[in-house]
């Protein structure tokens, strides 16, 4: 088991790792729309927030030697499921390889630091 850490992604906001690699799999913690340079939430519309989340996730995966193309499963957390079509449009731009990852999407009461979207992932390194 090995901890994955990227300086190009935001520091965790709690006592957890950005990701853990074990047995050829990478378990990436949920990313929220934090700017890694400032540690502040990216403002604007949900599309910009989702774009930042996926950029952060891609950086963590790159530090593990993998990429969004090797993601097996994601979970998308939204504070408002009415935003799902807009988040899904951005998500679809980043997950273009076939087969696309399995996914669950859930509405939650709140996310860390007031974020509107969070995405975690499991990817393979092979």
Average pLDDT of the residues in 107-111 = 98
| pLDDT for residue 13 is more than 90 | no
Nearest CA to 71 among 99, 92, 109?
Answer: 99
| Homologous superfamily of domain range 2-124 | RutC-like (3.30.1330.40)
Nearest CA to 40 among 80, 6, 61, 10?
Answer: 10
- Side by side, which strands form the sheet with 117-124? 2-4, 19-22, 25-31, 117-124, 71-78, 102-107
pTM for this model (two decimals): 0.96
Cα angle vertex 60, ends 83, 21, to 5°?
115
Average pLDDT of the residues in 44-71 = 97
| pLDDT for residue 29 is more than 90 | yes
As a whole number of angstroms, the distance between CA 121 and CA 112 comes to 17
């Amino acid at each position: 088991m090995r901890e994955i850490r990227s300086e190009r992604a935001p520091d965790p906001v709690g006592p957890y790792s950005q990701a853990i690699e074990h047995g050829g799999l990478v378990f990436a913690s949920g990313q929220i729309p934090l700017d890694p340079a400032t540690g502040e939430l990216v403002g604007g519309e949900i599309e910009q927030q989702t774009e930042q989340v996926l950029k952060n996730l891609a950086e963590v995966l790159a530090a593990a030697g993998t990429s969004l193309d090797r993601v097996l499963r994601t979970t998308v957390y939204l504070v408002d499921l009415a935003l799902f079509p807009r988040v899904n449009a951005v998500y679809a731009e980043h997950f273009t390889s076939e087969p696309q990852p399995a996914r669950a999407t859930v509405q939650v009461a709140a996310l860390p630091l007031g974020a509107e979207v969070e995405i975690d992932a499991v990817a393979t390194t092979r």
